Structure 1
Amino acid sequence: MATFLYKLGRFAFRRRGFVALIWVALLAVAGVGAATASQPANDSFSIPGTEAQKAFDLLEQRFPGGNADGATARVVFRAPSGEKMTDPANKAEVTKTVAELKASSPQVASVADPYQARAVSKDGTTAYILTSYKVNAMELEDPAKDGLKEVGEKAQKSGLTVQIGGDALQEMPETGSTEIIGIAISAVVLAVTFGSLVAAGLPLLTALIGVGIGISSITALATTLGLSTTTSTLAMMIGLAVGIDYALFIVSRYRAELAEGRDREEAAGRAVGTAGSAVVFAGLTVVIALVGLAVVNIPMLTKMGFAAAGTVVIAVLIAISLIPAVLGFAGKRVFGRKARRRLEERAAAVAAGGEGVPEEKPNMGTRWARFVLRRPLMVLLVAVLGLGAAAVPAVSLELGLPDDGSQPVSSQKRQAYDMISEGFGPGSNGPLMVVVDAKGSDDARGAAQQVRKVITGLDGVAAVSPATFNKAGDTATLTIISQYKPSSIDTENLVGDIRDEASGFTSDTGAEVLVTGQTAMNIDISQKLNDALVPYLVLVVGLAFLLLMVVFRSVLVPLKAALGFLLSVVAALGAVVAVFQWGWLADLFGVEETGPIMSMMPIFMIGVVFGLAMDYEVFLVTRMREAYVHGERPGQAVVTGFRHGARVVTAAAVIMISVFAGFIGSSESMIKMIGFGLAIAVLFDAFVVRMAIVPAVLALLGKAAWWLPRWLDRALPNVDVEGEGLRRQLERPSAAQRHDRDSDPDAELTRV
């Protein structure tokens, strides 16, 4: 592979205009395709294999034209002090609002008058209008949302306190200035790392081109492949991350080759042949992690994973073709002025016979590696114990999906949530729906009455509505109000209790009982993600272990990489629990409401962080492997790897941390949690695992680190990531050189 990539790098450098034109043309074609494509449909969110989804599907069949999974909005009213919502003037205002909501959009399915639906609190101070829509929140059009907002604003002018909650208004989270600061830090880090604005701009430019092609392609193919507008979210974030990383490593290796005195074309070829090989295999690990999300069997998550994987593939292709082409355009400006002057002085000294060649001073990476080699056991113990301490809170990890109760206190959704909790009880914010399929029962109404009676007697049930039947009279729905808030463990236990009773209903009455509703759906999603966590982890880590074994020609190095990754992820989850569940340093990170950790967080962190962690592992350790294969002692190979790779890996990690940390400023608790979790995970993995545990373990293992059974060595394909085959080929004299040497009598005397 190294030889092929070497030739590709030289070709791209020589034909840089042609290669650059191809990529610009691809960007233009993708852009035109995206601009002319029809508007993609929003995902109809479904969770195959769950009871809640089964109930939704049943309702669509038995209640045609219904909106069981449609979006809902609660327009909540509170009377001024001393007044009640039953006062004639206030009642008239609410009645007028009901009429306006019905006329606000064709997507409105029903609007419940609070005075007829018993949606007025016992003390008379609070009332709410429940508005149901024909489509789910993702399919709700902007005019419908705007109409809802306008009705709420008009009602507010009456003197009543009016807030709107529910999932109908999917507000764009505010990320604040911290995200911009994160991007600015990335640019500064690149400039400091390279000491050249041109070199710093190359990774950003090529990463943006790759993301542009990827996102435009997703948009252009959205209708054909059934992709939604949300599919590109993960693709954009991962595409930028790996795009910058891959370009950073190849540009850095190109500069190192130039510093060793090679001409520009040769330097480009060797950079792509060596660092490019690492890029290809690092990209494969990321693709494995993203495609592996299909194991969860949530269609939206699967589509996001495949789309992001496609963007990663584009980033890899750009790194091994467009980067060497752009380096050809950059010329000597890939170095800063001071660096160019030092290189010229060094070249002049070498040409003069080597006298006066300045000695290379050990950088921070070299000094740190030598320190670890002197005290490997101490460094290993401190690093492992530190991550172990950070991981302790993960033992009490509670998973769930956030609701409006986790929104900032200042948000409209949160205020509506609190008003309903105070007026009607916390369970009113997330009612459960029980579906009674009485098609196999002789007495459908009797079965529904029995179900209602049993559920009413369960602990934690505040109220149960009378059964509502379909036209055929064989299916009924009941609404259950819990005594607890929707995202609590108590509500989860209540759903479990109802489902435990379901088997008894079936045996006694012949009716099948299913629990659904948004709250039950959230519980089922959390359970599905929990069940998929171990298979996903085994699949991703197992395939990556095999891939890294091929790359490093070792058994222990991939094992160490996988164990180190698991340690960093568990430590990061512990930090997330400490901040977002326990409330430690909550004020510092702007966490207004603690509660269960988003159920998607563990699997999401494993997928994203695993890809980035393996990037750092491949780029750092392949340089060590390269030095070891070329004859250096194991300890010296570690130092060489750090001398060439530590600075670049550090820069890449700081960039990722700053970008992810930018999301901590978001007003959305879920986005804030993701930003914090990814930032702290990269911090742990890059600076504790890769920079401390990796060299310490390699120092303790010595030559054993690179041990591979002979039978396995023969069985595994030799991909030559370290470029040993390339080096032998480049050092082997050509046929013309051998002919000249054989025909030269002086050469014969020299050989003798």
Structure 2
Amino acid sequence: MGKRDTRVRGIAARAGGWSARHRWAAVGIWVLFVVLAMGLGSAAGTVELKDSEQLGGETGRAAAIAEQAGIEEPAGETVLLQAKDTGLKATDSEFRAAVAAVIKAVEGTGKVTDVTSPYDTKTISKDGRSALVQFDMRGEADTAGERVEPVLKAVEEVQKDHEALRIEEIGGASMNKTFDDAFGDDFQQAEFSAVPVALGILLVAFGALVAALVPVLLAITAIMATMGLMMIVSHIQPMDETSSSVMLLVGLAVGVDYCLFYLRREREERAAGRDPETALRIAAATSGRAIIVSGVTVCVAMAGMLFTGIATFKAMGLASLMVVAVAMVGSVTVLPAVLSLLGKRVETGRIPFLHPDKRRKANGGAGKGGSGNDSRFWTAVLRVVLAKPAISLVVAAGALVAIAAPALGMKTQNLTLDQEFGDSLPIVATYERVNEAFPGGSDPAEVVVKADDINSPEVKSAIADFRAQAVSSGASRGPVDVKVHDAQNIAFVYVPLVGGSNLDKAEKSLTIIRDEVRPATLGKVDGVEAPVSGQVAGSKDFNDQLGSAVAPVFVFVVVFAFVLMLLSFRSLTIAVTSIVLNLLSVGAAYGILVAVFQHGWGASLVGAEGVGAIITWLPLFLFVILFGLSMDYHVFVVSRIREARLRGLTTRDAIQHGVVTTAGVITSAAVIMVAVFAIFGTLSMQSMKQMGVGLAAAVLIDATIIRGVLLPAAMALLGERNWYFPKWLNRLPDLSHDESFEEPSTQPQPPQPPAVEGERVGV
């Protein structure tokens, strides 16, 4: 094979070249990095997010006051006693006997403290048919679920002796135990099953066990290294379980994708007749560069979460950013070394019926319109799209706009217990019964009163006035309970909110408490601080904080992604179209979410329910994640189109070549992402279903309608304008790093295309 001089530019090409020449050193450095990251991380330990760091506003301030005072609220539990017979009342002897039996039973376990009778606390419903026995679990609230089982069994025994009554326990500890028993392994199993699913799809894609294992192993080692880094970074930005789960999800997706892009290009070049060294160098210069552009863009998108000001989002953003960066670096450094070491052994463990040898041999050669990865399906689609680009654009864009339309009526809120789990658990029915008999009783507002002297007459009087006005204002039906911590000069006031599990009504009650009752009572005493927290307050504060963060995050992600695309492709048109297409993809995902989970259209098809709302954190989370991940496909396809254009093909032929030759790898990558995300859509919690379905739908749309129809149609209509780069932008840094590489001796070198105005073509 004849060779010509090759000039190598760009970080990816240089990194790949060094890695291939120093194979064992590259592998050793990577292994050392992973081991060191995990070792140092384990030694440093993880700093977890505190309640006071989760949110700003009054909810965060209330948690901070309690933490600074060293007060750890115990896990509160409630036993509902409710007459099944409408004639039985709480004042009847049988009912009183049941109350006494419950009190005796729970106290007898030795696991509880501060047991109160409904006859003392007045926690008897208006109709007289329901009453609440309340108590606290001994020990730390976080681990109370592990100690609550004897109490639950004691209550069950009392139920057996009083068939005329419904006797059920509910509270923080009992709910945690119930959910852990029912769904504790749910999420973990989904995480672990994602790896074999990805491996199975890669086996089909490559037809060889070793080739399929390489991407999975790279992704796993990247995740392991990031876990160690997260532990170290947690001392600056505390982490939580959610950030770890999101990191695993994103790390597996991009780690496998990046390796897949690289490996498929290397195999394609070898199938086209190039020697292994040249094939690897071309893969480094092309797919390696695309990985860096994509990785940096994804990192920028993930960094958008840092602008929310919400600790959980900041932790998720930082964790995702780190795993993408680690996977990107691994793909362009250790991967070339591994492929160089393996050589033809990467084909070991072939599955003949998937990829027969004769088919592989027939797939050689990279002509003007296609290559060994030609897909008959996408070739047929492209033939139609390029023949009628205007019609294809209108139809595809119209379909996506129609799909996105329901998003205009999106309603977001924190899901209540019944929305999250439906009627799948008995404790959900208990939750609803408590809320019906005692509106807001299961999730009261919690006012943390801090004073110089909590027992001073004026503070006591203000608290008494607050309790009275909370009821007289209509915000609560009572009883309003008070727990005083004398030593710390702090009091906790618990206010059941009218509205109960109806968050819209409960928030109106909360507003009355915050804006009317508090200023008229506690607010009049100098030196008194009284932030209002609780589940409803936390939901409102979270919504308010998230709402104020949407604009800055949106602007940051879009502007920086635009600038990166502009500098990487040296085309104003490519940068604009990439942003528009990504926004269409995200909008369509929003529309599907609203249609399925808010309106319930086709919800049963995905094992979901129409719960009337989208969980608050999901829209912004999806925007950032999807905007980042969809850049994978866009950068890969456009890079291939631009590469063909620079090699002398017309823009239309370059589009045909770029889309068709990347169809196989993008299909494989998309199937892996959709499968992994769909696993999370099978979880029992509606919030996890929403996340899984939203991510899977968006990736599927992005890899098919966006990249297979809209992108080629738009580029075909734009023609040479695709490469428009105004002269006044030439002062910007050039990150294009166009590569020249060897052609097989059987093919003449194509002429360079004429320069489009303002654009630098050639090398």
Q: TM-score interval w.r.t. the shorter chain? A: 0.7 to 0.9
Distance in 1 (alpha carbons) for counterparts of 2:523 and 2:18: 77
SS of aligned partner of 2:51: coil
Equivalence for 1:129: 134
SS of aligned partner of 1:718: coil
Alpha-carbon displacement from aligned partner over 1:41-83 (angstroms, at most 9, x marks no partner): 564353454122223434556xx45446x65444445567697
Alpha-carbon displacement from aligned partner over 1:264-292 (angstroms, at most 9, x marks no partner): 12211220121111101111111112222
TM-score of the superposed pair, with normalisation by structure 2: 0.83
Deviates more, 1:298-307 or 1:190-199: 190-199
Is residue 399–residue 597 contact of structure 1 (8 Å, CA) maintained in 2? yes
1:239 and 2:256 are equivalent in the alignment: no
The alpha-carbon deviation at position 159 of structure 1 amounts to 3.1
SS of aligned partner of 1:587: helix
Distance in 1 (alpha carbons) for counterparts of 2:468 and 2:82: 33
- Aligned partner (choices 427, 431, 444) of residue 417 of structure 1: 431
**Cα separation, partners in 2 of 1:110 and 1:568, compared to 1, 3 Å:** farther
Equivalence for 2:122: 118
SS of aligned partner of 2:158: coil
Residue identity in the other structure for 2:145: K
The alpha-carbon deviation at position 342 of structure 1 amounts to 5.6
The alpha-carbon deviation at position 296 of structure 1 amounts to 0.9
- Aligned partner (choices 598, 601, 604) of residue 615 of structure 2: 598
Is residue 635–residue 699 contact of structure 1 (8 Å, CA) maintained in 2? yes
Equivalence for 2:753: none
**Cα separation, partners in 2 of 1:46 and 1:464, compared to 1, 3 Å:** farther
The alpha-carbon deviation at position 249 of structure 1 amounts to 0.3
- Aligned partner (choices 441, 445, 452) of residue 432 of structure 1: 445
Is residue 40–residue 229 contact of structure 1 (8 Å, CA) maintained in 2? no
SS of aligned partner of 2:155: helix
The alpha-carbon deviation at position 709 of structure 1 amounts to 0.6
Is residue 12–residue 19 contact of structure 1 (8 Å, CA) maintained in 2? yes
Equivalence for 1:156: 156
Is residue 366–residue 640 contact of structure 1 (8 Å, CA) maintained in 2? no
Equivalence for 1:388: 401
Equivalence for 1:750: none
What pairs with 1:502-517 in structure 2 (closer than 5 Å)?
A: 505=520, 509=524, 514-517=531-534
Distance in 2 (alpha carbons) for counterparts of 1:156 and 1:416: 14
Is residue 452–residue 489 contact of structure 2 (8 Å, CA) maintained in 1? yes
- Aligned partner (choices 252, 261, 267) of residue 249 of structure 1: 261
Equivalence for 1:365: 378
Residue identity in the other structure for 1:643: V
Alpha-carbon displacement from aligned partner over 1:214-272 (angstroms, at most 9, x marks no partner): 22443466568644454322211111110011001001110121122211122112201
Equivalence for 1:710: 727
Is residue 378–residue 708 contact of structure 2 (8 Å, CA) maintained in 1? no
Equivalence for 2:758: none
Distance in 1 (alpha carbons) for counterparts of 2:300 and 2:544: 23
Deviates more, 1:453-462 or 1:149-158: 453-462
What pairs with 1:302-313 in structure 2 (closer than 5 Å)?
A: 302-313=314-325
**Cα separation, partners in 2 of 1:431 and 1:8, compared to 1, 3 Å:** same
The alpha-carbon deviation at position 30 of structure 1 amounts to 4.0
1:95 and 2:107 are equivalent in the alignment: no
- Aligned partner (choices 615, 638, 648) of residue 621 of structure 1: 638
Distance in 1 (alpha carbons) for counterparts of 2:446 and 2:736: 59
Residue identity in the other structure for 2:104: K
TM-score of the superposed pair, with normalisation by structure 1: 0.84
What pairs with 1:457-606 in structure 2 (closer than 5 Å)?
A: 457-459=472-474, 461-463=476-478, 465=480, 471=486, 478-486=493-501, 488-501=503-516, 505=520, 509=524, 514-592=531-609, 594-606=611-623
SS of aligned partner of 1:520: helix
Distance in 2 (alpha carbons) for counterparts of 1:49 and 1:38: 26
Equivalence for 2:171: 165
Equivalence for 1:701: 718
Identity %: 31
**Cα separation, partners in 2 of 1:374 and 1:611, compared to 1, 3 Å:** same
SS of aligned partner of 1:717: coil
SS of aligned partner of 1:584: coil
Is residue 113–residue 135 contact of structure 2 (8 Å, CA) maintained in 1? no
SS of aligned partner of 2:147: helix
The alpha-carbon deviation at position 574 of structure 1 amounts to 1.9
1:5 and 2:16 are equivalent in the alignment: no
Equivalence for 2:415: 402
Is residue 618–residue 691 contact of structure 2 (8 Å, CA) maintained in 1? yes
**Cα separation, partners in 2 of 1:668 and 1:342, compared to 1, 3 Å:** closer
**Cα separation, partners in 2 of 1:21 and 1:145, compared to 1, 3 Å:** same
Alpha-carbon displacement from aligned partner over 1:616-671 (angstroms, at most 9, x marks no partner): 11011111111112222111111111122122112211111111111122112221
Aligned residues: 707
Distance in 2 (alpha carbons) for counterparts of 1:524 and 1:599: 11
Equivalence for 1:376: 389
Unaligned 5+ segments in structure 1 are 731-752
- Aligned partner (choices 58, 79, 84) of residue 51 of structure 1: 58
SS of aligned partner of 2:134: strand
SS of aligned partner of 1:131: strand
Is residue 99–residue 133 contact of structure 2 (8 Å, CA) maintained in 1? no
1:282 and 2:282 are equivalent in the alignment: no
Distance in 1 (alpha carbons) for counterparts of 2:446 and 2:104: 29
SS of aligned partner of 1:461: coil
Alpha-carbon displacement from aligned partner over 1:547-580 (angstroms, at most 9, x marks no partner): 0111111112121111222222122122212222
**Cα separation, partners in 2 of 1:92 and 1:252, compared to 1, 3 Å:** same
Distance in 2 (alpha carbons) for counterparts of 1:453 and 1:362: 74
The alpha-carbon deviation at position 151 of structure 1 amounts to 1.8
The alpha-carbon deviation at position 399 of structure 1 amounts to 1.4
Distance in 2 (alpha carbons) for counterparts of 1:620 and 1:7: 22
Distance in 1 (alpha carbons) for counterparts of 2:190 and 2:446: 41
Alpha-carbon displacement from aligned partner over 1:201-223 (angstroms, at most 9, x marks no partner): 22112111211222244346656
Is residue 189–residue 654 contact of structure 1 (8 Å, CA) maintained in 2? yes
The alpha-carbon deviation at position 692 of structure 1 amounts to 1.8
**Cα separation, partners in 2 of 1:44 and 1:583, compared to 1, 3 Å:** same
Unaligned 5+ segments in structure 2 are 1-7, 161-166, 746-763
Distance in 2 (alpha carbons) for counterparts of 1:587 and 1:548: 40
Equivalence for 1:745: none
Equivalence for 2:692: 675
Distance in 2 (alpha carbons) for counterparts of 1:615 and 1:379: 23
Deviates more, 1:387-396 or 1:455-464: 455-464
1:264 and 2:270 are equivalent in the alignment: no
Is residue 380–residue 692 contact of structure 1 (8 Å, CA) maintained in 2? yes
Residue identity in the other structure for 1:559: V
**Cα separation, partners in 2 of 1:109 and 1:675, compared to 1, 3 Å:** farther
Distance in 2 (alpha carbons) for counterparts of 1:224 and 1:473: 29
Is residue 45–residue 300 contact of structure 1 (8 Å, CA) maintained in 2? no
Distance in 2 (alpha carbons) for counterparts of 1:486 and 1:600: 19
Distance in 2 (alpha carbons) for counterparts of 1:658 and 1:672: 13
SS of aligned partner of 2:608: coil
The alpha-carbon deviation at position 126 of structure 1 amounts to 4.9
Distance in 1 (alpha carbons) for counterparts of 2:530 and 2:374: 74
Is residue 67–residue 134 contact of structure 1 (8 Å, CA) maintained in 2? no
The alpha-carbon deviation at position 11 of structure 1 amounts to 3.1
SS of aligned partner of 2:136: strand
Deviates more, 1:46-55 or 1:393-402: 46-55
- Aligned partner (choices 6, 28, 31) of residue 24 of structure 1: 31
Alpha-carbon displacement from aligned partner over 1:185-205 (angstroms, at most 9, x marks no partner): 533432332233332222112
Distance in 1 (alpha carbons) for counterparts of 2:679 and 2:645: 39
Distance in 2 (alpha carbons) for counterparts of 1:633 and 1:226: 52
SS of aligned partner of 1:364: helix
Residue identity in the other structure for 1:718: D
Deviates more, 1:170-179 or 1:236-245: 170-179
